[in-house]
Amino acid sequence: MAENEKTQANALEPKTKIKGTITKITIGGAIVDLGPKQLPGVIHISQLQKEHLTKVEDAVQIGQEVEMWVRRAKKDRIELTMIEPLALEWREMKPEMTIKGKVERLETYGAFVDIGAERPGLVHVSEIAHGYIKNPSQIVKVGDEVDVMILEVNRRKKQIRLSMKATLPEPAESANKPKRGGRGGKKRSGRSVAAMMAEFNDEPKVPQHTAMEMAWQAALDRADSSKKSKAKAEKKPESNEIQEELLSRTLEQRK
């Protein structure tokens, strides 16, 4: 095969953009001349434009030069499309793939980024930058070109989750930030929770006594009570003597 033919063969891979001339129109589509030493190109009626079409003549005319993209190359023909193919097909998108995109729309919960797929992907507000941000408009605006990483693709729901912060370096302070708990964290206090709560509430601490101390205290209380009773009993005779003396004096005065 000549060098020129090799170059032409390599150029006709899927999504390759080429030019050609319409040479024939049929009910089902159009035939295109792609140049010397090339197989004829075929454009199906469904590939002439995005909108529904009933007549091929409403889209192209014989002799018209058109721009097209290669869909697939077969042995006897090259299938073409006049609808620009997606830069990124669903089957081509994989998690952790990093690509460029353009911010298409901003919402309070995130930014929609056009990555050349059937639908824009969503960068949630928590995935826009390291650290807390309240609104995506603090970091990006519509029309900005950004690097994003694909987190998840759901073809059934037509959803694409993206991240901007995954393409950014980690901030220096987070690398030096001490970890909580574990061996590298602070040692936990040996004090009980009750002791810490009592201190926090400024509650007086009540001393705790042993059983022996409590029994000894009870004995002392009983001895003290006995002394008081005896003292009261001793005071009674003295009181009686005083009363008798007063009575005697009163009788003597009457005599």
CATH match for 90-167 among 3.80.10.10, 2.40.50.140, 2.60.120.330, 2.40.10.10: 2.40.50.140
Which helix (H) or strand (E) segment is 31 a member of?
A: strand 29-33
In this prediction, residue 218 carries a pLDDT of 72
- CATH number for the domain formed by residue range(s) 11-81: 2.40.50.140
Partners of residue 160 on adjacent β-strands: 153
User: What are the φ and ψ backbone dihedral angles of 44, each rounded to 5 degrees?
Assistant: -70, 150
CB 146 within 8 A of CB 101: yes
In this prediction, residue 171 carries a pLDDT of 82
In this prediction, residue 201 carries a pLDDT of 43
In this prediction, residue 148 carries a pLDDT of 97
CA 90/CA 103 separation, integer angstroms: 20
Which helix (H) or strand (E) segment is 235 a member of?
A: helix 211-254
* Domain range summary for the chain, segments of one domain joined by +: 11-81, 90-167
> Over the stretch 92-122, which tens digit does the pLDDT of each residue have?
999 999 999 999 999 999 999 999 999 999 9
In this prediction, residue 162 carries a pLDDT of 97
Q: How many CB atoms lie within 10 A of CB 112?
A: 20
CA 27, 33, 39, 45 dihedral sign is negative
Same fold, 11-81 and 90-167: yes
In this prediction, residue 12 carries a pLDDT of 80
CA 153/CA 150 separation, integer angstroms: 8
In this prediction, residue 175 carries a pLDDT of 53
CA 230/CA 207 separation, integer angstroms: 33
Show the low-confidence residues of the chain (pLDDT under 70): 1-11, 173-213, 215-216, 224-255
